[in-house]
Amino acid sequence: MGTVDCVVVGAGPAGLAASAALAEEGVDHVVLERDRVGESWRAHRWDSFRLNTPGSMNQLLGPLPDDEYTGRDDVVRHLDTVAGRCPVRAGVDVTGLAPHDGELVLTTSDGPVRTRSVVVATGSENVPRLPPAAQALPRRTTQLTGASYRSPGALPAGAVLVVGSGQTGAQVVEDLVSDGRRVLLSASPVGRLPTPYRGRPMIEWLREAGFFDQRPEDLPDPAMTRMPNPLLPPGGDHDLDLRRLAVDGVELVGRVTGAADGRLHVDRSVGDCVAFAEAFAERARSMADRAIERLGLDSPPDAPDEPFDYPVRDVDELDLRAEGVTTVVWCTGMGGSHRWLPDELLDGGVPRHTSGASPLAGLWFMGLRWMVRRCSSNLVGMPGDAAATAAAVRAHLG
């Protein structure tokens, strides 16, 4: 492949955004993708998946209706269109990187590639994390992750336990409930975004309030960057409230803490999880109210949420066979795979960087959570981050 000024590794949304920005800067580059364009979107999204941000926030995919919440197959189609304008080479696996004589040398399945700069856009949330309890369940139990779940019809008959009530877990639960499945949900502490709010989807108010442009230094506690994203369902017409899911028949249990003999041990933390979600919801309302006041909008007041009773399975273990649970869907978080990078560039497997810039000269990252802003790992934030990265690459190349 020879030498090129810049190599982008990964042809998902972040890599394609980087490629478009590098082209704007006039940087000669190539995009290397080990599988197909947008492979995670093809292989790791369930059938009914839709984006939880409207078209007005997803212009990376091309012109979209402002209120469209795009489905999985259409996302893939749009990514293919974007990739058609980029120098993508699919089927090339990058397995190593090393500095050499002022350049960077990539080890690839197509031979070594010398380059003056690299943008790593391989994703930070495409490798499922599984707790040790998953290894202790009997073989008769079907186990999936949020990345391998496809549809209720693909599961064996019986009840389903979803572990984790973040964005993926909550949407999988709604998918299962719509099919009439009996569902148990192991809750986790995740913020809730009440929507609609004061006449509009909450996401629109939060965008006006600068929520998605928050930087890590804007947060009262840096640890908040490690929390799951707050719950925001597609459509903006309802919110994902653990209490209402319970009222609708979802059986809430606490967090899974272990497993033995076909039983899952759970704690009694559902109340704490609900309290965490409601505290976040109140902060979101306050942000929206301030945005409405700043903009001088005449927006109708919103009726405050009144506390209400909701059923909880107050147990400390679940006997899966006795419960009729035949499938467990683990929605317990995702990580990235950066093991092909030198150890000194990683901190516990996570890339070391400052606003996307690696300590190694000529190396940048794209698409990492909270890389620059809250939205850095979302479609809405990638174009802006890509423009800044491309400008830095151009400056580095001189």
Over residues 72-99, the mean pLDDT reads 98
pLDDT tens for each residue of 129-154: 999 999 999 999 999 999 999 999 99
Check pLDDT > 90 for residue 220: no
Measured CA to CA in angstroms, residue 70 lies from 35, 314, 350, 381, 383 at distances of: 23, 38, 30, 17, 18
CA dist 2 and 379 (Å) reads: 32
Q: Does domain 3-126+336-397 have CATH number 3.50.50.60?
A: yes
DSSP summary character for residue 228: P
Check pLDDT > 80 for residue 2: no
User: Considering only CA atoms, which of 184, 166, 154, 83 is closest in space to residue 125?
Assistant: 166
pLDDT tens for each residue of 233-273: 898 888 899 999 999 999 999 999 999 999 999 999 999 99
Residue 222: the pLDDT is: 83
In the chain, the amino acid numbered 320 is L
Q: Say if CB 69 and CB 237 are below 8 A apart.
A: no
- pTM score above 0.85: yes
Provide the mean pLDDT of the chain.
Answer: 95
Check pLDDT > 90 for residue 73: yes
Distance from chain centroid for Cα 332: 12
Strands 317-319 and 263-266: antiparallel
Number of residues written out for the chain: 398
Over residues 366-384, the mean pLDDT reads 96
pLDDT tens for each residue of 36-68: 999 999 999 999 999 999 999 999 999 999 999
Check pLDDT > 70 for residue 1: no
Over residues 24-33, the mean pLDDT reads 98
Among 82-91, 224-233, 249-258, 266-275, name the one with the lowest average pLDDT: 224-233
Check pLDDT > 90 for residue 201: yes
pLDDT tens for each residue of 300-327: 999 888 888 999 999 999 999 999 999 9
pLDDT tens for each residue of 168-189: 999 999 999 999 999 999 999 9
Instruction: Tell which phi-psi region holds residue 355, choosing left (phi > 0), alpha (psi between -120 and 50) or beta.
Output: left
Residue 58: the pLDDT is: 96
Percentage of residues in the chain having pLDDT higher than 70: 99
Q: Where are the domains of the chain?
A: 3-126+336-397, 129-330
CA dist 187 and 175 (Å) reads: 17
Residue with tokens 């976040």: 280
